[in-house]
Structure 1
Amino acid sequence: MSAPGHRPKLSIVVPTMGRPILRKTLASLLSMKQSGETEILICGKIHDPETRAFVESMAARHPQVSWFPVVYAEGDSSEKKNLGWRKAAADLVAFVDDDVVVAEDWVGHVVSAFSNPEVGFVSGPSLVPEDVGFWARLAGLTLSSRAAGYVSERYLHGGLEPREVKWSRLIGCNMAFRKSLLEALGGFRSDFWPGEEMIAAWQACQSGHKLYFIPGAFLYHYPRESMGRFWKQIFGYGATRIRLIRAGVEVEPSSLVPGVWVLALSVALVLSFFSSYGVYLLGAILAAYAMVAAIITALKVKETGKLSDGLIFLTIPVMHLSYGIAQWVEFFRPGKDLSEASG
């Protein structure tokens, strides 16, 4: 809740699973240059004693911080967002994940973007922080490489000037809406995770609202710390893409490439057991893929200047396999529970 008599320029909703890294997120929000012009709404139960004590302490010391210890049996992520924006006092509502660190001038860039009356909602870059583990760094770099297609745009600064982008360029860990738009949409659908923000973005653009990408409104997002969690994350993205298509959103052919690749690989693998043609076909597919992956890897190493980052050559196929397999699993067995348990 904002201080009495003070209406914030921006309400910031942080849906949380109660992870300890929430402390770092909240500390960064409170240390922003324009923190005093915001209110911060933490939505979610916190079981970790130290994290809970830290949030309670910050809420007691800072009038603009409110904590709502809620958890929902279904649609937990969506419902936490919905609770947050409905409690918001500002006309502009931002959403960040509970494992991010925002830039010092993040608020200014977000708020100034809405001075353009055409803008209905905005999104900014999600960058890889330096203080992460080895595998987490590789996961983040893989998502920001050309192997991720247009999705990589979300994980790069992408120039200097704000620009209009398609609905699919939104990233849920760093986004802001006019509250009036959220009211018109009815909030976030509880039957989508991950992807509640994507279908909202599609509906918003279909109703005439514009999404702008704001390079200056960047934050640092801590990637998954293991390949197992990275696989699960990407699996969720792949399955959600099919769910979105089933729900009637625009079909973007490039997003289906991993599924086609997995199908081609599977067919070639089966054929290889029965004919030399199948062996040659499988070899050709793998050789072509390895060549493209090597080029993408080389470009990323050139960008970062670290030879060890060349190991994304191994995580690129992990990303494509997980995404592609998930698309087929969701196609034939829809509705798999993709939620994450609250901490």
Structure 2
Amino acid sequence: MSKTAYSSRKIHHCHLEEGIPALPNGEAAYYLFWYNNIPMGHLWLDSIYPKDLTEWESFIINSLKQAWSFYFKPLNVSEKHQLLRAFKDNPTYLNEQFSSNYKKIFQRPTPTTSLPSISVVICTRNRTSALRECLTRLFLSTEKNFEIVVVDNAPSDSGTAELIKKEFPSVTYVLEPRKGLDIARNTGALTAKAEILAYTDDDVIVTPEWVSQIRQSFEDPLTMSVTGLVIPYRLDTEAQCFFERFWGFNKGHQPLIFDKAYFAKHLPVGVPAWDVGAGANMAFRKTVFEKVGYFDERLDVGASGCSGDSEYWYRIMAEGFTCRYFPHIYVYHQHRESWNDLKKQIFAYMRGNVSSVLVQYQKYHHQGELYRLRKSLPLYYLKRIKFAILHPKSRHNKFILEEIKGCFSGWKFFLKHKDSPFYPEI
């Protein structure tokens, strides 16, 4: 792999209704394609670049393949080129190609019943600058009638409390002295008053429509959780590019449903609950906490790593409810800038992944979870090790040791804490 595949790069936001973007000039870049503020696809440009406009159109068409397969009727290659030009030149033709799925999701009639109330919960620790930016963007929301709860998780100083008091007095501030993200999430769930709880992180930038879009996404009574697309805010460093390329939160550009059928299909080999979304952009009905319990407080602490969110989505599906992913509900995430911070993050991801799978097996005794740990995961890393031997200079190998150590550490953590309490005492 060429080094340019991981170098810092400019993010180009291309709005297709304004026409086909100019032919790239040969720089390493990351392209995001939009139509009327709906994310339609993304494209990395590394060592291979289009030689002319026709080839550039083909690059774009390939990146939009997933979205088009959902939003538009089946089109052959020539029709796709016509459609690409029609984004600007012939919107009537474009509208005729919209699928019923597009109209159902994005062109809903006015609801006959009032929308549910909503609270936004932000769990933070010692990051007042990032939190200020996050809250400032939230207050630009088109939706004005919502609650904001900030959970200050085991802070080392009073900076967050002072920030809220001085600059955001309408925000509900809660001090949670016990360290742990899922502990803070549960504190937020117990504090928030609304019917829908939307969670985001202090290093996230939300869009003005984010709150209202989440409110509108819980029409199906079986839907207990909704997630959305997470887009990189910037890709200024190699570490940020590496994370987005191999570990990013992008779950695709078409709506997805994770229901009973999805759960049953994957159950024999382990349900990949992390595919539901990312904790930086997720929401729940408040009643779900009564139905399936609260976040498992053994996860998402410094010793465990992460994956409290995916374990919770697993539980929702295991209890017969539905999770949904909507790419039009998007936020921007500020990825870790340094290799050292990313190294710690990836170790935590794998530690949390293994410990959460063991937690899921402990609760439900689904054999697929053991299959994943005993067969799928070892086989995956054997292939990774073989690749590393054959391609020792590949940057894809960069954190393989941290990943493997994280897996063993997650197993060790679970064995030590398997008898600890799961949830808060209500």
In the alignment, does 2:392 pair up with 1:286?
A: no
Q: Structure 1 residue 33: deviation in Å?
A: 1.4
- The secondary structure found in structure 1 opposite 2:287 is helix
Which residue is 1:151 aligned to? none
Equivalent position to 1:238, from 339, 347, 350: 350
Further displaced range: 134-143 or 239-248: 134-143
73, 86, 100: which one pairs with 2:190? 86
User: RCO (CA 8 Å, sep 6+): is it higher in 1 or 2?
Assistant: 1
Equivalent residue number for residue 226 of structure 1: 338
Amino acid of the residue matched to residue 183 of structure 1?
E
Residues 228 and 282, structure 2, Cα contact 8 Å, conserved in 1 = yes
Whole-angstrom CA distance in 2 between matches of 1:33 and 1:18? 29
The 3-state SS of whatever aligns with 1:176 is strand
**How has the CA–CA distance of structure 1 residues 330 and 84 changed in structure 2, closer, same or farther, with 3 Å as cutoff?**
closer
**What do residues 110-132 of structure 1 show as CA deviations (whole Å, max 9, x unaligned)?**
11110122211011111111275
Q: 2:178 is matched with which residue?
A: 72
Deviation of the 1:188 alpha carbon: 0.9
Matches of residues 311-330 of structure 1 in structure 2 within 5 Å?
A: 314=395, 316-330=396-410
Distance 1:241 1:8 in 2: 33
1:59 CA drift (Å) = 2.9
Aligned residues: 276
Amino acid of the structure 1 residue aligned with 2:333: H
Q: Deviations over 1:77-124 (max 9, x none)?
A: 112111111111110001111110012211122111101222110111
1:1-343 → structure 2 map (5 Å cutoff)? 9-19=117-127, 20-34=129-143, 36-44=144-152, 52-60=161-169, 63=170, 65-73=171-179, 76-130=180-234, 132-144=236-248, 154-156=249-251, 158-161=252-255, 163-164=257-258, 167-169=273-275, 170-193=277-300, 194-247=306-359, 248=361, 250-251=368-369, 253=372, 259-260=378-379, 262-263=381-382, 286-287=389-390, 314=395, 316-331=396-411
Q: Which amino acid aligns with 1:113?
A: S
**Separation in structure 1 between the aligned mates of residue 384 and residue 257 of structure 2, nearest angstrom:** 38
The 3-state SS of whatever aligns with 2:320 is coil
AA aligned opposite 2:137: S
Kept after mapping to 2: 8 A contact 1:258/1:323: no
Displacement of 1:265: 7.2
In structure 2, distance between residues paired with 1:246 and 1:253 = 10
Change over 3 Å in CA distance of 1:100–1:48 after alignment to 2? farther
- Give the TM-score of the pair, scaled to structure 2: 0.57
Distance 2:384 2:121 in 1: 43
Question: Whose helix fraction is larger, Structure 1's or Structure 2's?
Answer: 1
3-state SS of paired residue (2:188):
helix
Secondary structure, in 3 states, of the residue corresponding to 1:54?
helix
Secondary structure of the 1:229 match is helix
Consecutive unaligned residues in structure 1, runs of 5 or more: 1-6, 145-153, 267-281, 294-312, 338-343
Q: Distance in 2 between matches of 1:254 and 1:82?
A: 28
Matched AA of 1:86: L
CA root-mean-square deviation: 3.1
Report SS of the residue matched to 2:335.
Answer: coil
- Larger-gyration structure (1/2): 2
Contact 2:353 2:410 in 1 (8 A): no
- Percent of aligned pairs with the same amino acid: 20
Structure with greater strand percent: 2
Name the amino acid aligned to 2:166. S
Cα 1:181–1:334 shift into 2, 3 Å? closer
Q: Answer yes or no: is the 8 Å Cα contact 1:261–1:324 preserved in 2.
A: no
